[in-house]
């Protein structure tokens, strides 16, 4: 492992970096987690995608470090962290997703958190916490259906479509969809609502 990590730190060219990250990810060893997260900040999209894939593969065990090492000063890096968390879908990401959806300035990061919010594995929470968590997620998603950025509203529809499978929150979601079908100014968003309704 030390060698694989060392190879990432010593990579001289973007291509060497991608290869080194792929090798490290392939080891599927939790010891790789901090290095894989660090790669998000290297402005090398190929390497970052390989790191995302590696972290998703490691799954739940990567979640605590992903949550604690989100880069507040680099929204490119932040987007990769959120995409990893969204794909792992561990509900411990709920609070960070909500906070990003409501307050982050970068649309790419918000969209990733929105999609993630809709797809968390609620059954992994203790039964007593499930309905509160689900309601917080749904409220957040319903709220941002009035964002001025069409791509945020589009992402919200995607998130809500996933949550509409949960019987308790289905009805407010369907009525929001109905409202958007009539009122949303963007044809692309209305089309996405139609697709969610089908």
- Binding residues vs other proteins (CB under 8 A): 43, 45, 75-76, 105-108, 111-112, 114-115, 148-151, 154-155, 158, 187-188, 190-192, 194-195, 198
Q: Which is nearer to other proteins, 4 or 163 (CB)?
A: 163
Distance CA 23, CA 196 (A): 39
Cβ–Cβ under 8 Å, residues 164 and 174: yes
The 8-class DSSP code of residue 74 comes to: -
**C-beta closer to other proteins: residue 3 or 187:** 187
- Residue nearer to other proteins on the CB measure, 119 or 130: 119
Nearer to other proteins, 125 or 140 (CB): 140
CA distance 73 to 1: 29
Q: How far is the CB of 128 from other proteins (least distance, A)?
A: 31
Q: C-beta of 140: minimal distance to other proteins in Å?
A: 15
The C-alpha atoms of residue 157 and residue 69 are separated, in whole angstroms, by 29
CA distance 110 to 101: 5
Q: Could you tell me the smallest distance in angstroms from the CB atom of residue 105 to other proteins?
A: 7
Smallest separation, CB 116 to other proteins (Å): 9
CB of 102 to other proteins, least distance (A): 15
Residue 52's contacts (CB-CB under 8 Å, 6 or more residues apart) are: 80, 83, 84, 87
Nearer to other proteins, 2 or 198 (CB): 198
Q: Of 22, 21, 25, which is closest to residue 41 (Cα–Cα)?
A: 21
């Amino acid at each position: 492992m030390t060698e694989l990590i060392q190879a990432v730190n010593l990579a001289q060219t973007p291509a060497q970096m991608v290869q080194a990250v792929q090798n490290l990810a392939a080891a599927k060893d939790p010891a790789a987690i901090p290095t894989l997260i660090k790669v998000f900040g290297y402005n090398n999209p190929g390497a970052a995608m390989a790191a995302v894939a590696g972290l998703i593969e490691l799954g739940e065990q990567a979640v605590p470090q992903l949550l604690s090492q989100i880069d507040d000063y680099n929204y490119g890096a932040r987007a990769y962290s959120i995409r990893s968390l969204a794909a792992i879908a561990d509900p411990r990401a709920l609070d960070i997703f909500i906070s990003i959806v409501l307050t982050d300035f970068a649309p790419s990061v918000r969209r990733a958190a929105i999609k993630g919010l809709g797809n968390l594995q609620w059954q992994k929470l203790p039964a007593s916490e499930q309905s509160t968590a689900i309601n917080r997620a749904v409220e957040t998603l319903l709220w941002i259906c009035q964002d001025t950025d069409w791509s945020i509203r589009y992402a919200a529809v995607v998130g809500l479509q996933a949550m509409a499978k949960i019987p308790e929150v289905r009805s407010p979601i369907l009525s929001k969809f109905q409202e958007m079908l009539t009122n949303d100014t963007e044809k692309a968003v209305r089309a996405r609502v139609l697709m969610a309704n089908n």
